[in-house]
Amino acid sequence: MTVERQGKLVGVKVDTLEQGFMGHPKPLRPLFFTEMWEKFSYYSIRPLLVLFMVAAVSNGGFGFDEATASAIYGIFAGSLYLATVPGGWLADNWLGQERALWWGSIIIALGHLSIALSVVFGIVLFFIGLIFIVIGSGLFKTCITVMVGSLYPNGDTRRDAGFTIFYMGINIGALLAALIVGVFREKGMWHTGFGVGGIGMLIALLIYQFSARKTLRLYAHAKGNLVDWERPQGQNYQDKQRKIGRWVFASGVILVITVWAVAVGLLPFNAVAVAGYMIYSIAVVVILYFAVMLLSPKLSKVDKSRLLVCFLLIVSSTLFWSSFEQQPTSFNLFADRYTDLEVMGFHIPSIWFQSLNPLFILLLAPIVSIVWVKLGERHIEPSSMVKFAMGMLLAAAGFGLMVLATKSVLSEVGTLASPLWLVGSLLLLTLGELMLSPVGMSSMTKLAPSGMQGQIMGLFYTSFALGNLVASFFGGYVSADKIESLPNLFTTMALFLVGTAVVLLILSKPIEALLQRNAPNTQT
């Protein structure tokens, strides 16, 4: 069967499009590589930020203390994921998924350029670059995830496996970034390390424009699906888009004025306090959003039951990421200061530990993907909530190893921890991530009510935001006078993860029964 598009035959068979990439729809391949290079751009600056900010001015850094640097990183990472909520809304109601992704990519690239130039031109440009990356990521992140979700109809057993493969693209980018910028950091080439991310973002943009976009349109037409990621059309939408555009412009002007006022000292800025306020504010906004949606008469009982599951998964995801995101803060600093980096006469750049997580995902994700498909074919695949609980327990075991690692440092003055502690901990955290993150993205695209996909995916990313903010406080504990508190800190994290896993396992059966009553064909 060939595809007919706009009255002309295109020589592409539907079967070829349906089974075109590792047994998955063909558009998954260009989306895979688009996401890979976008994540390369992000993970190229992620491990550098805290180390750069705490580095002495004489070494090219800003000389911030650990608590302030960790809080600034938490604000940046938290804002980046929080921006996906308005970004998803703008994609749904103003730009459309395609244009949002396009403009988001350009803004991210400008952000990397600003940060790279800040090494020469000063701190103001550094913070402007961070803001650009936050705004651009808010537009980009939800769009590409929604596009992947649109490839799989309800009931397609390949969905979770497809997102696991997509997740591999994220981690190939992260692996390459950590290895490359680790070398630049060891040589003190901060500006080069920050600049390579912008190149990665431009590559992502080109792949999407010249490959993913065309393949997506062919696939949508072949399947007879509405392409809901295009820009909304019609006179009513045009009037709405003009009104939204005016609000976006006004918000941009206010943001520029605010940044300038902070930069010149007209407005006080306490990073630690701001991070704390953000945690409470985000939590309240998410709770209120779901409360309003669950009480809304516009949504059916089916939609409300699905939103309830989304809320529970988002809360669980927040607790997971508050532990997992220790990697760019406390794990990174622990590796840099308290880990023996000399192995067989070779000095390991401390940032290279950040490459272990994506390396493990590349090795394990195909196995996990195959397992989910096989279990789905036999109708014994665990529900999303059970998978989340499994991830929590694996992460808890990882923190158990970190408790032992910190105690080994404290056992004798001047002792450095074996790098194997970090390797083992990151392996367990990675296994936990594979049980949770791609499954969470898949669940949001599957459970979100029609017309709310971008918003619900944005809300899922708020769990990343809260996790990063909470983790930023923990990162401030890693200093010479506070390492004694790390065993208790890591123990507390492990206990919270175990407790959350138990709650999810208890709730999984009644929640699954609720969904089956309201929508018999829906699997959580």
> Could you write out the DSSP letters of every residue in 349-411?
PGGGGGGHHHHHHHHHHHHHHHHHHHHHHTT-PPPHHHHHHHHHHHHHHHHHHHHHHHHHHHT
Residue 511 has pLDDT above 80, yes or no: no
How far is the C-alpha of 426 from the C-alpha of 395, rounded, in Å? 9
Neighbours of 161 (CB within 10 A): 27
> Could you write out the DSSP letters of every residue in 94-123?
IIHHHHHHHHHHHHHHHHHHHHHHHHHH-H
Q: Are 49 and 129 in contact (CB under 8 A)?
A: no
Q: What is the pLDDT of residue 475?
A: 56
Whole-angstrom CA distances from 123 to 38, 68, 107, 118, 181 are 24, 15, 19, 6, 20
Q: How confident is the model at residue 3 (pLDDT cuts 50, 70, 90)?
A: very low
Q: Using CA of residue 181, residue 187, residue 189, residue 192, what is the dihedral sign?
A: negative
Q: Mean pLDDT highest for which of 75-89, 240-254, 259-273?
A: 75-89
Bridge partners, residue 9, by sequence: 4
Written as six digits, the tokens of 164 are: 């696991």
**Residue matched to tokens 């002495």:** 56
Q: What is the pLDDT of residue 522?
A: 47
Residue 370 has pLDDT above 90, yes or no: no
Bridge partners, residue 339, by sequence: 417
Residue 37 has pLDDT above 80, yes or no: yes
How far is the C-alpha of 100 from the C-alpha of 276, rounded, in Å? 30
Nearest to 256 by CA among 399, 73, 132: 132
Q: What is the pLDDT of residues 420-472, one digit of tens each?
A: 999 999 999 999 988 888 888 778 877 887 777 767 877 887 888 788 777 77
Residue 400 has pLDDT above 90, yes or no: yes
Residue 6 region, left (φ>0) first, then alpha (ψ -120 to 50), else beta?
A: left
Q: What is the pLDDT of residues 190-221, one digit of tens each?
A: 778 788 888 888 899 899 888 888 888 777 77
Average pLDDT over residues 173-194: 80
Q: Mean pLDDT highest for which of 37-41, 42-46, 162-166?
A: 37-41
Q: How confident is the model at residue 115 (pLDDT cuts 50, 70, 90)?
A: confident
Please give the domain boundaries of the chain with CATH numbers for all domains: 32-518 (1.20.1250.20)
Percentage of the chain exceeding pLDDT 90:
8
